[in-house]
A = this chain, B = another copy of it.
Amino acid sequence: MSSVIVPSQPIGALSDAWRKVVGTGEFVLGLRRDYLDSLAVVQAEIGFGHLRGHGIFHDWMGLVRQYDAAGHVGTRYVWTYLDQIVDAYLEVGIKPFLELGFMPQALASGDETVFWWRGNITPPRDYAEWGALVRATLRHLIDRYGLAEVRTWPIEVWNEPSLKEFWQGASKSEYFRLYDQTAFAVKDVDADLRVGGPATSPESDDWYLPFAEHVAASGAPVDFFSFHAYATGPAQHVPFGVYQTLRHPSTLLEQFARPRTLLTGTALERLPMHVTEFNTSYRPDNPVHDTAYNAAYLAPTLVGGGDLVDSFAYWTFSDMFEEQGVPASIFHGGFGLLTHRQIKKPTFHLYAFMAAMGPDILARGHDHLVTRDHNGRVAILAWQPVGGTDDPAEPDHHHLSLSVPVAHPDGTVPATAYAHRSRVNDESGNAFTAWQHMGRPATPTSRQLDDLHAAAEPTITHQSLPLDPTTGRAEITLTLARHEITLLQLTPVHDETPPWLDDARILGR
């Protein structure tokens, strides 16, 4: 059992790198109601800064249209869907993190595609056309949303060119060409737009230095460095799903740290680092995403990631996602924090618990984070440490003992603190388990959805916690169930009880 004496003075400030960016399925999904309903829930309860997804240039966006006007062939850019989607983002207070790709068929040099929705992964047949598209898109966005606003939207060049599934031949040299052409086109529009890359897949060590050397040589501007991190091994397929091995949770923070290490001494070393995708599994059909285990596994990453990078984007906020086709079932191992129909998964609650933390860190450890806000509210995030495939057997309970100072903002010590605990584990706050108990209905009925929404809410307990009048401390022992994440909030009590009340006189007391 851990035993922690929480100090009275902050040891640091909580970084917001964990909520700067979140991932999404293909851009055009932003037209869908279920997707936007989920985004609204996520923004109300978590509040991400930016949203990043593939395919802003995919044909389903309808952006590039060629026409023949009396023999003159022209290109018209159609902003109908782009504007609807970006309007919808801004309406709920999230900005785009622009990932430029895939290739519109009209500009493509080949027919290779990726995903059920067939994103074209070939280079442009003519870089001038590509540059024109990039410039036109940015100019249009600036016209509509204003230069000051668009300058706050990072612009990333392509997605995972280091994998042949996403970039024809995974050609480094062709990507560097694409990068240069794109980065220069961006700066043509405005020198203060922020462009970066290379958006590489996990552990693309062989790309970092070459990219740094290339841009040093080409003079292409780079405002940030971006890459991805995942923790699973190869997929073992079953129909509509996979099982995978999972490394130790420390792998993610190690992956976050690695590029900067490798870039030491280059001009890129000091740049903002954005992990533009991360998760346990890189598969949208691995049931681990639906579990409390996933939340417990990721807790140390959310707590520690801000030490290493400027942002790290959970891939993705919603199960409305179609890379492997239309999900066959409400729970299907999707990446989402929310399923279709807005059922919250345990990892949603991990993010919501993080959003409840205060700005000042009082303590941090392998199973806890303790913060305080300006009202004196102490928030404790605790989790059961888990070990991945190699260390699969968590005990049924995890115990954590804390000595916590609680005081009013003016320093005075109240007699008690109000303790409000929200619990999520294999049973509580766990609609996935409830859904299994229901017999895994692929598309639940309205009544089943009501039950699932109810089962998805954390279990709440509350108590009046006496504080030691001398030390101003509460002594707490938390018992966490299997794979539990817990948020315990201690609020200094201003007791308004009038002297004449006697609860013993209420019937039933």
CB–CB B505/A243 < 8 A = yes
- Point out the residues of chain B lying under 8 angstroms from A81, CB to CB: 326
Tell whether A191 is near chain B: CB-to-CB under 8 Å.
no
A234 to B287, CA, bound (A): 54
- Point out the residues of chain B lying under 8 angstroms from A293, CB to CB: 506-509
* Range of interface residues on A (Cβ < 8 Å): 35 or more
What's the nearest-Cβ distance from chain B to residue A459, in Å?
6
CB–CB A497/B79 < 8 A = no
Provided the pairs A326-B61, A329-B80, A442-B78 are in contact, do residues A498 and B239 lie with their beta carbons within 8 angstroms?
A: yes
A83-105 CB mask vs B (1 if < 8 Å, else 0) is 11001100000000000000000
CB–CB B440/A495 < 8 A = yes
From B144, B445, B489, B508, A443 is in contact (CB under 8 Å) with B144
What's the nearest-Cβ distance from chain B to residue A445, in Å?
7
Tell whether A49 is near chain B: CB-to-CB under 8 Å.
no
CB–CB B238/A80 < 8 A = no
From B32, B70, B451, B501, A31 is in contact (CB under 8 Å) with B32
CB–CB A79/B442 < 8 A = yes
Closest to A458 in B: B454
A493 to B239, CA, bound (A): 23
CB–CB A497/B239 < 8 A = no
Provided the pairs A84-B340, A388-B507 are in contact, do residues A76 and B437 lie with their beta carbons within 8 angstroms?
A: no
What's the nearest-Cβ distance from chain B to residue A353, in Å?
13
Closest to A241 in B: B501
Closest to A443 in B: B83
CB–CB B392/A508 < 8 A = yes
Tell whether A36 is near chain B: CB-to-CB under 8 Å.
yes
- Point out the residues of chain B lying under 8 angstroms from A236, CB to CB: 505
What's the nearest-Cβ distance from chain B to residue A71, in Å?
11
What's the nearest-Cβ distance from chain B to residue A64, in Å?
10
Tell whether A51 is near chain B: CB-to-CB under 8 Å.
no
From B33, B76, B433, B496, A32 is in contact (CB under 8 Å) with B33
What's the nearest-Cβ distance from chain B to residue A429, in Å?
9
> Of residues A291, A389, A509, which shows the largest number of chain B Cβ atoms within 10 Å of its Cβ?
A509
Q: Can you sample 20 A-B contacts with CB below 8 Å?
A: A31-B34, A33-B88, A62-B325, A69-B238, A74-B239, A76-B239, A78-B327, A80-B330, A80-B340, A83-B443, A238-B502, A240-B498, A243-B505, A288-B507, A293-B507, A437-B463, A438-B491, A440-B495, A457-B460, A483-B508
Name the 8 nearest CB pairs between A and B, nearest first. Answer: A62-B326, A293-B508, A67-B239, A439-B493, A33-B33, A437-B464, A243-B505, A439-B495
